[in-house]
Amino acid sequence: MTEWWRGSVTYQVYPRSFQDDNGDGIGDLKGITRRLDHIAALGCDAVWLSPFFTSPMLDMGYDVADYTDVDPVFGTLADFDALVARAHELGLKVIIDQVLNHSSDKHPFFEQSRTSRDNDKADWYIWENPRHDGTPPNNWLSVFGGPAWQWDARRKQYYMHSFLPEQPELNFRNPAVVDYMEGVLRFWLDRGVDGFRFDTVNYFFKDRLLRDDPADYREKTEAPGNPYEMQYHIFSKNQPENLVWMERIRRVLDSYENRASVGEMGEAHHAIRMMGEYTAKGRLHQCYSFELMGYDYSAGFFRRKIEEFFTGAPDGWPMWAFSNHDVVRHASRWAKHGVSQDVLAAQAGALLLSFQGSICLWQGEELGQTDTVLGLDELTDPQGINFWPEPIGRDNTRTPMVWDGSANGGFTGGNVKPWLPVKPPQLARNVAAQAGMDGSVLESYRAMLAFRRETPALRTGDTRFLDLPEPILAFTRGDGLLCIFNLSPRAMEVQARGIGKLVGPSTGVTHSDDKLKLGPNAFGFLTVDGTVSLS
């Protein structure tokens, strides 16, 4: 059985925003199929599809009403089968989201569960009695604001929801729920998918005693925009039983050939350590967190996170990402660190693609795309609306993919109103304008992806960091490759011994007389002759 996933590069597609094929202003599966050539030509190994299942779309598909069908807004099961077939023709693996922690309140199982305390699905969700004063059973909070408990007058009980009240939590302590979810996985595996991305992978089990989450022990200079960040969530998620479920998932995947998994680690405390736990032998193949999706763009930060993982979890495997559908795009977050937006975007791509582990790219980052400035009246995201104006919601990063310079960027017809607007700053960074253009962000990504694919050291080689002051990040991969980055908009210089010639898509680096000169936001890859020394 091959480990195709180890060191692979996955491209995340948000179906609503990739390509509208039927002209309703919302992306769909046929549109994705039509654009798979772009992902293949970019040089990626796999495509990850965010949810496309039957849903009321209150949380844009992360509120699932049917786990084994396609929502009509995206197409049909036949459209999905055609997408998988075309992806495989192009040499792309297909990974699909699995949102198993919670369903929509419109799911037939929940509609039955809430009718009484003694029906066949009564114990399929997390129900609890109120305290004597009528308040919820504990202090657990929802990520989207307010208590994590919603009163239901029919059962005269509270049900739990970590997100929207319309997203009730399934009860994974009920063996029937776990059996059903295994069947869901097998349904999609039998249709030919190559793996799964598991949403909120550390949320499945809750504390049996329903103990209160304590206050976050870390000092804060001011209250956060979201009260959820004021708690240390040691009882409402992160239970040891989660790991038993991971082991069952792995057994299911291992019963098929060449399938893989990745878990989303949504955790503000010890996320790197937990990534290691969730990818230990016999559990998930890979795990990724939001650890590299903040505002720190320093050499020490990246070194610390990567060393922390491989030191603490030598048998685990990470998937690194700088952006996704839930956070501000990194070209916006790190703008102040670049001499220009395009130069910074190209450097960030080279940096990410040089890391040990697997890589996930968010659609549009290969164009240097930035967040779209949206007004409150333009938002659809409940998180963004509930916490307006801060923290920034998720719609800003989810605006449509821009394929050309025409109206709506080629995402949909020029006379059609897309579900989120395509604005001039994003329209200026389109695929057609960058394709074949030397120095464009797109061509930089293509060159870097080709270099990673043809260089075994970049896919699987071990990492050794070199001690250099900020803002220089330098490390070797495998036995013969040095990777060096100037993470600032000012020129730098280092003394260098034991290095050979420049290789790969290096930019702004010159080597002569035992010196490496690094231009603003420069990056380079050099062969290593024996023991390398930089100072």
What residue ranges in 130-174 does DSSP mark as E strands? Answer: 149-152, 157-160
Q: How far apart are CA 342 and CA 409, in angstroms?
A: 19
DSSP assignment of 80-93 equals: HHHHHHHHHHTT-E
Size (the chain), residues: 535
- Residue 55: which region, alpha, beta or left (left: phi > 0; alpha: psi -120 to 50)? beta
- Helix, coil or strand: residue 335: helix
What angle in degrees, to the nearest 10, is found between the helix axes of 271-278 and 299-312? 40
Residue with tokens 């075994």: 456
Beta bridge partner(s), residue 196: 96, 261
Question: Which phi and psi (to 5°) does residue 149 adopt?
Answer: -130, 135
Q: Which residues contact 73 (CB under 8 A, 6 or more apart)?
A: 24, 26, 28, 57
Q: Is 291 a catalytic residue?
A: no
Q: Which residues contact 210 (CB under 8 A, 6 or more apart)?
A: 128, 137, 138, 235
Q: Is 378 a catalytic residue?
A: no
Q: How far apart are CA 514 and CA 532, in angstroms?
A: 11
The structure tokens listed for 91 are: 């040499």
Contacts of residues 397-400 at CB distance under 8 Å and 24 or more positions apart, as own/partner, are 397/323, 397/324, 397/325, 397/326, 397/327, 397/328, 397/329, 397/362, 397/371, 397/372, 398/14, 398/16, 398/17, 398/60, 398/325, 399/17, 399/372, 399/374, 399/423, 399/426, 400/17, 400/18, 400/20, 400/27
Q: Give the active site residue among 199, 213, 277, 342.
A: 199
Q: In this structure, how many other beta carbons lie within 10 angstroms of the beta carbon of residue 286?
A: 25
CA distances from 356 to 44, 189, 394, 500 (A): 16, 28, 28, 22
Q: Give the active site residue among 20, 71, 79, 267.
A: 267
Give the residue from 275, 285, 274 showing the smallest Cα distance to 250.
285
The structure tokens listed for 119 are: 């029906």
Q: How far apart are CA 494 and CA 518, in angstroms?
A: 8
Q: Return the active site residues.
A: 199, 267
